Structure 1
């Protein structure tokens, strides 16, 4: 039976714990907040730790570590887990800097362990069908695209670490990284990008933008745009992708 450890016992951790118990055992949990780690430990019959160092030192039989801590701690916790010879499932985003990403990749190679990043949008049935159509050239040449990410996040949402440059990182890390990943997964890498951003409605509660636009030129020749905002009136408005191609136009 596979044994799992959970680093960080916040909101998303519950979904990870439920999945772990379907395929193995949640053996250990870690959180700096005693009430959170104790609650998970009691619910799942796991050992509780106040630091990742203590957990990795004592839980030698754990096979996979799930990193569910705040964004800015993902790199540190992922690297420490890999160095302890554990496979790692890291919540999005993987990290906040390119340098940290390369360090994680090199650590994974050196330690000969597997790193998985949560990119669940790739498993959306419609996106999988679109990916297949693009791979089979059913749409012909891709001309252009637009991604619209319009959500609502009131000031009350930004408590604790949310809203800070570190460890939150910003709107594109916390809210919309799934959809940037989906775009690149479908259409390939970016050759050139230019953008604008501003803090229109959260000047007193966050340290980064709440609205932005970016124009992109992809390596496959397609051009397009991304518009993101957490200022949608009262509720989330949409996550939408439009692709204009030689043999069709698609909007999801």
Structure 2
């Protein structure tokens, strides 16, 4: 049985990590969050110690190690994006491996420092890149690898998820803390595109504001038109009519890739891979973080025939 601790246990994504820890047979020693609405722990690890102060959480793990000879194997990180770097370092200093939600860091150069610290540490750094485990995406990658064609695939990616006014007030609405729309809701998709279609060759941003971004990417094996938004007013009419708050679509050569289902268990699959000696580390996450940073910094260019707007 592996020993886990978790930071950010009151967050939106934390239940997926708690479920994964439970399903891989792990034991949760301690949990931390400055918010105390964490009744979810009763469903998974009611005996776990809970803290609202980082210092007491850190001291508790140290006491377990020194006084009870209980070592921490993994620190799961579900905190806001801008805190990931610091919390990964804390996990490594504790002698544990870090399993971190996307993105590992906000800026590419932070990865270099993490790599150096990882080399000096007993533990490793793992990034949750769950789309790489999705059956539909695995099938697409296999198709691309085995196609042997020289022409590039034509890809359209659209992801619109309605977010209320709370979003702007929270850390997610602060670009310096979240990385903006492209990083906060898009990094998994950009990682998936690079994993399937190869290295980026061209990168244009056509539209950018606080809620919506669109652009064009050319990979080794694909031309991609992408559109991301947290503005519910951008949802297609049929979504509005059906009361849906999210629209997600990827077409490859005008054929829809259905991946709306199957998300719920991918964190467990990710954890299983890590515990079996696999998992995706810093280098696996690097290309998508570099790409999103470039997107965030690029000036927009006029919309051309390479892209579309809904």
Q: Normalising by the residue count of structure 1, what TM-score does the alignment of the two structures yield?
A: 0.83
Equivalent of 1:64 in 59, 70, 74:
74
More displaced, 102-111 or 72-81? 102-111
User: Deviation of residue 177 (structure 1)?
Assistant: 1.6
Q: Number of residue pairs matched?
A: 237
Equivalent of 1:167 in 177, 183, 205:
177
> Does structure 2 conserve the Cα–Cα contact (< 8 Å) formed by 1:89 and 1:118?
yes
Matched with 1:81 is: 91
Matched with 2:225 is: 225
Q: CA RMSD in A?
A: 2.4
Distance in 1 (CA, whole Å) between partners of 2:251 and 2:40 is 43
Structure holding more helix per residue = 2
More displaced, 122-131 or 44-53? 44-53
Matched with 1:210 is: 211
The answer as to 2:165 corresponding to 1:155 is yes
The answer as to 2:251 corresponding to 1:242 is yes
Larger RCO: 1 or 2 (CA < 8 Å, sep 6+)? 2
Matched with 1:126 is: 136
> Does structure 1 conserve the Cα–Cα contact (< 8 Å) formed by 2:206 and 2:214?
yes
Distance in 2 (CA, whole Å) between partners of 1:55 and 1:216 is 47
Per-residue deviation, residues 223-242 of structure 1 (Å, max 9, x unmatched):
32211112234544522222
Q: Normalising by the residue count of structure 2, what TM-score does the alignment of the two structures yield?
A: 0.69
Matched with 1:5 is: 5
Distance in 2 (CA, whole Å) between partners of 1:59 and 1:131 is 44
Per-residue deviation, residues 97-137 of structure 1 (Å, max 9, x unmatched):
11112222332233242221111122221111111111222
Structure holding more strand per residue = 1
> Does structure 2 conserve the Cα–Cα contact (< 8 Å) formed by 1:56 and 1:81?
no
The answer as to 2:34 corresponding to 1:32 is yes
SS in 1 for 2:177: coil
SS in 2 for 1:141: coil
Q: 1:55 to 1:183 in 2, by over 3 A?
A: farther
Distance in 1 (CA, whole Å) between partners of 2:13 and 2:246 is 22
User: Deviation of residue 38 (structure 1)?
Assistant: 8.0
Equivalent of 2:115 in 102, 105, 108:
105
More displaced, 93-102 or 220-229? 220-229
Q: 1:114 to 1:225 in 2, by over 3 A?
A: same
Q: 1:238 to 1:140 in 2, by over 3 A?
A: farther
User: Deviation of residue 93 (structure 1)?
Assistant: 1.3
> Does structure 2 conserve the Cα–Cα contact (< 8 Å) formed by 1:28 and 1:46?
yes
More displaced, 168-177 or 234-243? 234-243
User: Deviation of residue 66 (structure 1)?
Assistant: 0.1
Distance in 1 (CA, whole Å) between partners of 2:60 and 2:151 is 51
- Segments of structure 2 that go 5 or more residues without pairing to the other structure are 66-70, 258-310
Alignment of 1:178-197 (within 5 A): 178-197=188-207
